[in-house]
């Protein structure tokens, strides 16, 4: 089964969102949507999400799923906004509870912040399957970048979130709380056991040395041959050393503080105060 995949690129956060469509009908899923956020002014904007809503409506699609590959630290999810307009169930990995526990503490959330994943419609675990129309999706738990990362394998297409990036860029960082380069290596090996012709759709692209165009589609075979971090059977120890050294040099993503607070709530803002105003916190010297 070959789903029709349409990509939506957000250059502000280098995120690729996808609409994945059953070629036999009108059912689709939206993977990793973006709610635009201007940190300086604290303002949200729905330009990116509206492009997806418009695409769904123009093509008479039925959104069955809003799939999150993980709790993103670099952009806010627009899943609830899209759900309100065109429906769909919001799904994420069941290890979201670990992420909620970690960041519930970092942001000193009160007991009203549930850490049981109940903000989401569906918690997926390794080996689960689901359907988009007649098309089957399978869930691989692929932690390492975060504890809750999933890869969604839908027909011949794998949506790998932040595990592998394009072969010339490599792999995702592993230095967020709960991240582990050893774990990511094992998860990547799991992805690379898929058939070589499996299409891989990555969660971000940043261009790469010698490449001045954004790109987001590759294959398992290409990753095995060409990925600069794990290709040609790179040994685990070499990968772990490289990844940890590189991560030590990386700055935090610009939107990590608002992203985590919103995305651990399935893309919802914290509860408004008694006047109806919404606030995000900035924990000092905590992240």
| Residues engaged in binding Fe ion (CB under 5 A) | 72, 162
Q: Which is nearer to Fe ion, 56 or 230 (CB)?
A: 230
Nearer to Fe ion, 22 or 162 (CB): 162
Contacts of 287 (CB under 8 A, 6+ apart): 106, 252, 256, 257
What is the spatial distance between Cα 34 and Cα 1, in angstroms, rounded to a whole number? 27
User: Is 222 in a helix, a strand, or coil?
Assistant: helix
Buried b / exposed e over 241-254, threshold 16 CB at 10 Å, is: ebbeebeeeeeebe
Listing from the earlier edge strand, what are the strands of the sheet with 15-21?
Answer: 4-10, 15-21, 27-31, 62-67, 89-93, 122-124
**Smallest gap from residue 227 Cβ to Fe ion (A):** 18
CB 72 within 8 A of CB 39: no
Q: Which is nearer to Fe ion, 135 or 163 (CB)?
A: 163
Shortest Å distance, C-beta 203 to Fe ion: 6
Closest residue to Fe ion, Cβ-based? Answer: 162
Which strands sit side by side in the sheet containing 157-161, from one edge to the other? 129-132, 135-141, 150-154, 157-161, 199-202, 217-219
Nearer to Fe ion, 14 or 113 (CB): 14
Looking at the Cβ atoms of 155 and 203, the one nearer to Fe ion is 203
Of 60, 72, 71, 63, give the one whose Cα is nearest residue 28.
63
State which residue, 83 or 263, has the beta carbon closest to Fe ion: 263
CB 169 within 8 A of CB 223: no
Q: What is the rounded CA–CA span in Å between residue 283 and residue 280?
A: 10
Minimum CB–partner distance for residue 156 and Fe ion (Å): 24
By beta-carbon proximity to Fe ion, the closer residue of 22 and 187 is 187
Nearest distance from C-beta of residue 253 to Fe ion, angstroms: 8
Residue identified by tokens 């990844």 is 243
User: Cβ 205 to Fe ion, closest distance in Å?
Assistant: 13
Q: Give least dist CB 237 to Fe ion, A.
A: 24
Minimum CB distance to Fe ion, residue 70 (Å): 6
């Amino acid at each position: 089964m070959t789903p029709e995949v349409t990509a939506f690129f957000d250059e502000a956060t280098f995120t690729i969102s996808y609409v994945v469509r059953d070629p036999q009908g009108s059912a689709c899923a939206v993977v990793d949507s973006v709610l635009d956020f201007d940190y300086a002014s604290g303002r949200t904007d729905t330009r990116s999400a509206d492009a997806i809503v418009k695409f769904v409506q123009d093509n008479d699609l039925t959104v069955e799923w809003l799939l999150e590959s993980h709790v993103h630290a670099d952009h806010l999810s627009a899943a609830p906004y899209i759900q309100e307009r065109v429906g769909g169930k919001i799904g994420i990995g069941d290890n979201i509870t670990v992420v909620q526990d970690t960041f519930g503490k970092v942001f000193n959330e009160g007991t009203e912040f549930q850490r049981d994943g109940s903000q989401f419609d569906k918690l997926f675990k390794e080996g689960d399957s689901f359907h988009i129309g007649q098309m089957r999706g399978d869930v691989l738990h692929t932690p390492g970048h975060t504890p809750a990362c999933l890869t969604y394998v839908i027909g011949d297409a794998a949506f790998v979130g932040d595990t592998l990036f394009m072969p010339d860029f490599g792999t995702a960082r592993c230095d967020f709380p709960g991240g582990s380069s050893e774990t990511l290596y094992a998860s990547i090996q799991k992805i690379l056991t898929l058939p070589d012709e499996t299409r891989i759709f990555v969660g971000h692209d940043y261009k790469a040395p010698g490449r001045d165009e954004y790109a987001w589609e590759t294959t398992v075979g290409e990753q095995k041959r060409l990925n600069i971090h794990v290709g040609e059977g790179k040994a685990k120890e070499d990968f772990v050393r490289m990844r940890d050294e590189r991560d030590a040099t990386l700055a935090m993503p610009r939107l990590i503080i608002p992203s985590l607070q919103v995305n651990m709530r399935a893309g919802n803002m914290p509860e408004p105060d008694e006047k109806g105003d919404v606030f995000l916190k900035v924990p000092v010297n905590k992240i």
